[in-house]
């Protein structure tokens, strides 16, 4: 009886412990499985700009729930969505949102830092060409800075217009026009400064002549007075 009790106890231990360990391993392996989907960004959407590609990623993150924003990433020109297998429902929902936004993403307005990278221009050139109409605005956009209450408003640009400027290569022409205009403005400023100095010199000389004439007239009156004609 004692032997039978020991055998029974041994069997129960040997059956229970490996099964529990195996179930734990299977559960851990299942949790490690990830759901993955990728979308290749077309060159028409990025216009060859890594900054534009990052802007598209930020636009996508702004459209999905906050809890899964970091599940979206950008890698070598591809948008990737990676989520645990336990979030299969959320994965399909987010995937549908991303696919919808990317359908026609080429029409997403170009923001300032993107157009500067696409056209390889400076902030000063963007402001100057926006002001004189060479870079036509497609409207304005207002956003709130992360972690701040302050909002900022900036001009955005039509991607078709930006692509046309890029294809025609007119940026260098605009820079040459600006250089010519700058030289002309300097010439005019130098001429105006010279003219101003001449006018000041002429006024000073006229004032000196007037003073001399008045002095001469006063001297004549003194002589006239000494001769007794004023008595």
Q: What is the pLDDT along the chain (231 residues), one digit of tens a residue?
A: 444 433 333 323 344 444 444 454 444 444 556 899 999 999 999 999 999 999 999 999 999 999 999 999 999 899 999 999 999 999 999 999 999 999 999 999 999 999 999 999 999 999 999 999 999 999 999 988 776 678 889 999 999 999 999 999 999 999 999 999 999 988 888 888 888 887 777 776 766 666 655 555 555 545 555 555 445
- The closest of 167, 143, 139 to 153, measured between CA atoms, is 143
- Asked whether residue 117 falls in the same domain as residue 49, the answer is no
pLDDT given for residue 206 in this prediction: 67
**Assessment of whether the complete model's pTM goes beyond 0.85:** no
Q: How many structural domains comprise the chain?
A: 2
89, 107, 125 - which closes a domain: 107
Query: What per-residue confidence (pLDDT) applies to 214?
Result: 59
Note whether residue 163 is domain-resident: yes
Q: What is the pLDDT of residue 12?
A: 37
Q: Which of 56, 77, 107 is the last residue of a domain?
A: 107
Q: Please report whether residue 221 resides in a domain.
A: no
Asked if 80 and 44 sit in the same domain, the reply is: yes
Residue 86 inside a domain? The answer is: yes
Is 88 part of a structural domain of the chain? yes
CATH of the domain at 56: 3.30.1360
Indicate whether 147 belongs to any domain: yes
**Do 88 and 35 fall within a single domain?**
yes
What is the domain range of residue 96? 31-107
DSSP for residue 149 = S
| The pLDDT of residue 193 | 83
Q: Is residue 39 part of a domain?
A: yes
CA–CA gap between residue 231 and residue 227 (Å, rounded)? 9
Let me know whether 127 and 92 are in one domain.
no
Same domain, 121 and 88: no
Domain boundary among 169, 194, 212: 169
Q: Would 157 be classed as within a structural domain? A: yes
Contacts of 72 (CB under 8 A, 6+ apart): 57, 60, 61, 64, 79, 80, 81, 94, 98
Number of continuous H segments (helices) and E segments (strands) in the chain = 8, 5
Phi/psi for 34 (5° steps) reads -120, 150
Residues 41 and 102 in one domain: yes
165 and 134 share one domain = yes
Residue 225, domain member (yes or no): no
């Amino acid at each position: 009886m004692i032997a039978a009790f020991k055998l029974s106890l041994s069997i129960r231990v040997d059956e229970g412990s490996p099964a529990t360990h195996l179930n734990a391993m299977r559960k851990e392996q299942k949790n490690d499985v990830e759901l993955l989907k990728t979308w290749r960004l077309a060159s028409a959407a990025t216009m060859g700009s890594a900054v534009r590609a990052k802007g598209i990623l930020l636009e996508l993150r702004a459209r999905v729930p906050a809890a899964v924003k970091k599940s979206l990433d950008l890698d070598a020109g591809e948008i990737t969505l990676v989520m645990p297998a336990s979030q299969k429902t959320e994965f399909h929902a987010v995937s549908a949102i991303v696919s919808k936004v990317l359908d026609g993403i080429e029409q997403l307005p170009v923001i300032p830092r993107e157009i500067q990278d696409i056209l390889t221009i400076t902030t000063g050139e963007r402001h100057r060409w926006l002001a004189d109409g060479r870079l036509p605005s497609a409207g304005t956009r207002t956003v709130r800075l992360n972690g701040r209450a302050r909002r900022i408003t900036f001009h955005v640009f039509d991607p078709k217009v930006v692509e046309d400027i890029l294809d025609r290569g007119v940026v260098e022409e605009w820079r040459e026009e600006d250089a010519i205009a700058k030289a002309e403005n300097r010439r005019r400023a130098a001429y105006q400064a010279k003219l101003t100095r001449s006018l000041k010199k002429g006024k000073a000389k006229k004032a000196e002549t007037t003073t001399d004439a008045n002095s001469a007239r006063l001297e004549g009156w003194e002589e006239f007075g000494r001769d007794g004609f004023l008595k």
